[in-house]
Structure 1
Amino acid sequence: MAGTKPKLEILLCAPRGFCAGVVRAIDAVEQALKIYGPPVYVRHEIVHNRYVVESLKRKGAVFVDELSEVPVTTAPVIFSAHGVPKAVPADAAERRLFAIDATCPLVTKVHREAELHAKRDRHVVLIGHQGHPEVIGTIGQLPPGAITLVETAADVAKLDFTQDRPLAYATQTTLSVDDTAEVVAALKARFPDIVGPHKEDICYATTNRQEAVKRIAPQVDAMIVVGSPNSSNSQRLREVAERAGCPTARLVLRGADIDWNLFGNIRTLGVTAGASAPEILVEEIIDAFAERYDVVVETVSTADESVFFPLPRALRPEMASN
């Protein structure tokens, strides 16, 4: 009986979930399947969410780690939202593959700025996480050695550039706003003439989602971030919740993954979702709590988002019909 359930107040972060770049990337695969039929090849996970990837696989998308796994084909080959090194589209062109670039436009902005700095003889210091696809893609925009990666302020202390070496910095788009500010401050303290981006590289969606978590985290007993472990922006949301004072914050992909030893005796819960997590998974998590609790959901909104990115040109209706 519902009356016997303990009460649970869920504070739902807004904005949460899909950003414009993720919507564009997923739509690119869906549209390519619709226009050209399966298979559609996708290099790397189109976005970092297993549910999304499995759903697209069922529709005929074939995910590969490298272009070498794509056979001789006229089928579309889509590059993921995280961006790719310049060598990848060059390889696709050499093999005459039908390549479609679904790189998020905000990642492309970072690529273009890195190229511009290189043209002006500035060495680029990239703030980001070693091995993340976005970082690999950005470093791959310039010749080897033209970009130096740093992750922390401690890494900045180890840099050995002379004061007269022209420098610029760029950042991965999905970092913690606070962590990045600390690294940027360290860079400016050591190299006062370092040049930054015209507009911050951390994307609007990352910033907005972190701000919503900061608002809610101090008010709840626990926080769930709906997202995949390999999603950088989702991991940052979990860290932001902990730093903002939430006693228990966990990354959870599906309702079945909830650890009831941690979440079985709470009165308030915060819920958000990383930029690559679909809303259906948020609903699944809330439904799992509703089976055990008498749930009341309140949405806490800290920003309105109206950003839209058009599909890659080859997939727009006017081009596809030609």
Structure 2
Amino acid sequence: MAAVMDAAFDFVPYGSVLEPRPGTIVLDVGMKTVAGVIDHHHQEAEAECAASLVIKYPNLVLDHIGPEEETRLKIITHRLPDFDALSSSFLALKLLETRRLDASMEKIGAYARLADSASLPGNIDLAATPYSILRALFAGAKMPEAEINVARAAEGLKLMRFLYVKSEQGYEIVENRSLYSGIERYERAMRKVENDYFHYLDDLARARRSLLNLPLSSGSGRRRVDGLIVRNPTSFLLKEWARRDAREPSLGSGFSFLMTNYWDERFILGVDPEKGVNLRGLGSLLNSLEAEKREARSRPFPLRWYEGNCPFFNYRIIDSPQDGTLLTHDEVLDCLLRFGG
């Protein structure tokens, strides 16, 4: 494979604002969409993920990196890179290698858009789809974060190359158990996904359930949905299992809202895009509470709660500040219940 595929990686905090740099492609971070910086988390972005933006606007890569720069290329993406960060990195590298798009690259970009928007079909076999395979490969890593970042980049690019080659050979890549047959690392990952369902059941048994009235994504009004609040989840595919659960939710169509609390350090709140609701306004309430508490303790507030205020997410996701939150679990939960009451 050409030397361009051996680019160096740098990892930066989520939400970093970055400018174009010579010999560098910034992906899934940077807060702008221009030649050399391809991100979708800002308000002016299109309703695309980073990978699908690379496919839609290849010149944002090709016009920024000339052939003479390819052998010393650097990629900047966010810490703990996910499927979108890694697929967009692969696609940018492949684009620079071949200087053209092809059908297999487009398939990877389209799949990444599904995965990043949490829109994988409800009937998909989670053990046979790349998003879950990659999550399984990442799960349980016990290394310093700097090493995890490097390992994720290597593992992710390896999987993307594998998917690209299989697509070029005519195989279906969205859902295909046979694709991974005979490859021990991927067979282990499939088994890990299957076993993760039992971790979901454990998380469910100790979770709090709540019916919430959430704003409609389009128009006025609200819709009642089943919500699940989980502290320190053990399932790495909790969101996927919860949304597919047709038995436990009282309304019978999956837990459409999920709030996860990771050791009182990070809170993520999100809704199923298929349910036509969002969390518009809740992020502002949390930011107001955070500001009040920090002011009372003379603490600065440089990084705010992310409200999902971009066209791709349309307020469907909320993430606590990257430097942590002063709000307690009960304070976040009380704010949610008042918002969705």
TM-score in terms of structure 1 length? 0.33
Normalized per residue, the structure richer in strand is 1
Greater RCO between the two (CA within 8 Å, min separation 6)?
Answer: 1
Larger Rg: 1
